[in-house]
A and B are shown apart, each in its own frame.
Chain A
Amino acid sequence: MSLGLFYALVGGGLFALGLAGLILQPRLLGKILAFNILGSGAFLVLVGLAQRGGTPDPVPQAMVLTGIVVAVAATALALALTRRLADLSGAAVLPEDDARAPANPRGPDGD
């Protein structure tokens, strides 16, 4: 097994781990970390699979760099929202009640 393929397999594992975390982690911080692991897995597959010829391919490197920038931006937004949510509701978790947005006939007037 080539080193590249090994990286790719590890990347696949990280992706799966991140996916599981994103779904199962109850705390938002945990979900955000899980997303980062998921993203890293994808990057690893991108770089790893592309190295079959022995010489590194510059294109995926450029892609991963771009991807990292995107992931950082997404993480920053996620953290900002988490803080705001924690400030408003006192806990860094998603509230259960409005997930299904129940048809509560006695709900308060919104706008």
Chain B
Amino acid sequence: MAIESVAPLPWLVLLPLAWATLSFLLGPSRGAGIAIVGLLLQAGLVLLLAWQLTTMGTQHHAVGGWGAPLGIDLVADGLSVVMLLMTAAVALPVAIYARAWFVAKPAGAAWFWPLSGFLVAALNGLFLSADLFNIYVTLELLGLAAVGLTAATGERRAVAAAMRYLLATLLGSGAYLMGVALVYGTYGSVSLAVLGGLVESLPVVMLAAGLMVAGMLLKTALFPLHFWLPPAHGGAATPVSALLSALVIKASFYLALRLWFGVFEPLAAVSAAQVLGALGAAAVFWGSVQALLQARLKMLVAYSTVAQVGYLFLVFPLATGTPAEAAAGAWQGGVLQAVAHALAKAAMFAAAGAMILGAGSDRIDRLGGVGARLPLALFAFGLAGIVLMGLPPTGGFATKWLLLMAALETGQWWWAAVLVGGGLLAAAYVFRVLLAAFAPVPEQGRVTGVARSLEWTAFALATAGVLLGLFAAHVVTLLDVGA
């Protein structure tokens, strides 16, 4: 069989479902191995898909040969493939990390492998779906898997956080579903391709768009709808935190981006975009300041996610109603930010987890001596922090450069101020951790060593976040396919 004729699209959904089921049946010890093999295969499939995309353009697949409207269409364009690549690039190292993590801390191991398989299947399905309803289903599957993972340790704080998260995510997808119902009632179709030519600014469609976007804001935890995120991301088992912060919130952001600049483009108003940007700016400042105030390392990292989500939403004012070139740059910058943050935040949680294991406490003021005992984990944390600060030559820098260019080209200097100020605030909270870890040890030998793979996977993720900056042009080229 020629390699061109392999259709990776359905397998990207089926494969994780298969290993999820298998690992549920075989138990956590063998499940880990199965999951890692499955994720390796998935990475290969995504690379193949990316190659097909660059040579042959947008890829389509009708599931079961049925096609829309009764069947399900899967479509992969540049944006989808970049998101799929991000998922594979984060999920594989996190799985290797998790395998070592659950040896040290077994609570929740039995749930982790099956649920993370469903999570990855839902993400892949979401990024490949070509109709609003299929997106709803994958969104719900994603939310339920994420909530299950949050609660996996069974501790009170984690369960309470999961419950809060569940209610938020259900409300978000409920609003989205209502929007889908209104759109279908108006146009009789849920296909993104069909709707693209139909949508016009009717009140009912405006309402639908408003509900769907609002639902996504809640799920992406944009300030002030972020209340559920810090306890969930800070309270879950560390590999789960990494998956949630890196990938899950990106799915709803992806959807907001897809809808705003796709189907609902005729409705997109500059004023609404400015409001989204303002919320983003508020998120950057609020999240960063909260991160500075946290006493616990994982809560600091979680609040950093609140801040970083803010940058994502600067895309909307920079790419709505602005000249085409600036808009394209901003849009690329937004997607790159999603990817850069995914890699860096997964690295940061992974490194934080290793440091917490070593120090035996997740309080920042108890991290002294980590720098000497776990230099690689601390180095990974620092590298990830540099990505988040947007310093060169990292992925975060490529992002900041593109967004700053767009801001100054369109004369919206106030967003430039947010970008620059946010970077400095990020530096403040990242170096707060580094300072604590550099501090001399109060008691000799208090910090213990951890499994090497915990440190190395964190380092690999952080390095990927750095290299993204040097090869951002490749990602941008890929993004342009079918855009």
Contacts and interface: CB of A to CB of B under 8 A. Distances in A.
Contacts of A63: 133, 184, 190
Contacts of A59: 69-70, 184
A62 B72 CA distance: 12
Given A31-B167, A35-B171, A98 B160 contact: yes
A67 B133 CA distance: 9
B363 A101 contact: no
A28 B144 CA distance: 17
B219 to A, nearest CB: 14
Nearest to B155: A88
B231 A84 contact: no
Contact of B188 (A18, A57, A67): A57
A101 B234 contact: yes
A99 B181 contact: no
B163 A81 contact: yes
Given A8-B185, A42-B174, A85-B163, A109 B133 contact: no
B177 A101 contact: no
B121 interface: no
Interface stretch (B31-39, B53-61, B290-298): B290-298
A92 B147 CA distance: 17
Nearest to B143: A74
A62 B170 CA distance: 21
In terms of DSSP, what is the predominant structure of the interface of chain A?
Answer: helix
Nearest to B157: A98
Interface string A17-61: 011001000001001000100110111011011100000011110
Contact of B147 (A60, A77, A85, A95): A77
Given A35-B174, A39-B174, A81-B151, A105 B295 contact: yes
Interface string A61-77: 01100110010011001
B178 interface: yes
A105 B295 CA distance: 6
Interface in B354-371: 356, 360-363, 366
B295 A103 contact: yes
Interface residues of B, number: 55
A111 B105 contact: yes
Given A74-B140, A109-B363, A50 B156 contact: no
Contacts of A105: 295
Given A57-B188, A94-B164, A110-B362, A70 B356 contact: no
Interface string B302-334: 000000000000000000000000000000000
A78 interface: yes
B294 A103 contact: yes
Contacts of B69: 59
Nearest to B189: A59
A104 B363 CA distance: 10
A85 B160 contact: yes
Interface in B169-194: 170-171, 174, 177-178, 180-182, 184-186, 188, 190
Contacts of A109: 360-363, 366
Contacts of A15: 174, 178
A15 B156 CA distance: 31
Contact of A70 (B140, B154, B167, B231): B140
Interface range, A side: 35 or more
Contact of A101 (B155, B180, B188, B299): B299
B149 to A, nearest CB: 12
A85 B156 contact: yes
A13 B159 CA distance: 32
Q: Which of A8, A48, A84 has the most CB of B within 10 A?
A: A84
A14 to B, nearest CB: 10
B450 to A, nearest CB: 13
B177 A77 contact: no
B178 A84 contact: no
Interface in B130-160: 133, 136-137, 140-141, 143-144, 147-148, 151, 154-157, 159-160
B175 to A, nearest CB: 8
A11 to B, nearest CB: 8
A101 B231 contact: yes
A18 B178 CA distance: 12
Given A67-B177, A88-B156, A107-B296, A49 B184 contact: yes
23 contacts: A8-B185, A22-B171, A45-B185, A46-B180, A46-B185, A48-B185, A49-B184, A57-B188, A60-B184, A73-B140, A73-B144, A78-B163, A78-B166, A78-B167, A85-B160, A94-B164, A99-B227, A101-B299, A107-B295, A109-B362, A109-B363, A110-B296, A111-B361
Interface of B: 69-70, 105, 133, 136-137, 140-141, 143-144, 147-148, 151, 154-157, 159-164, 166-167, 170-171, 174, 177-178, 180-182, 184-186, 188, 190, 227, 230-231, 234-235, 290, 293-296, 299, 356, 360-363, 366
Give the top 5 A-B pairs by smallest Cβ distance, nearest first: A49-B185, A46-B181, A45-B181, A88-B156, A103-B293
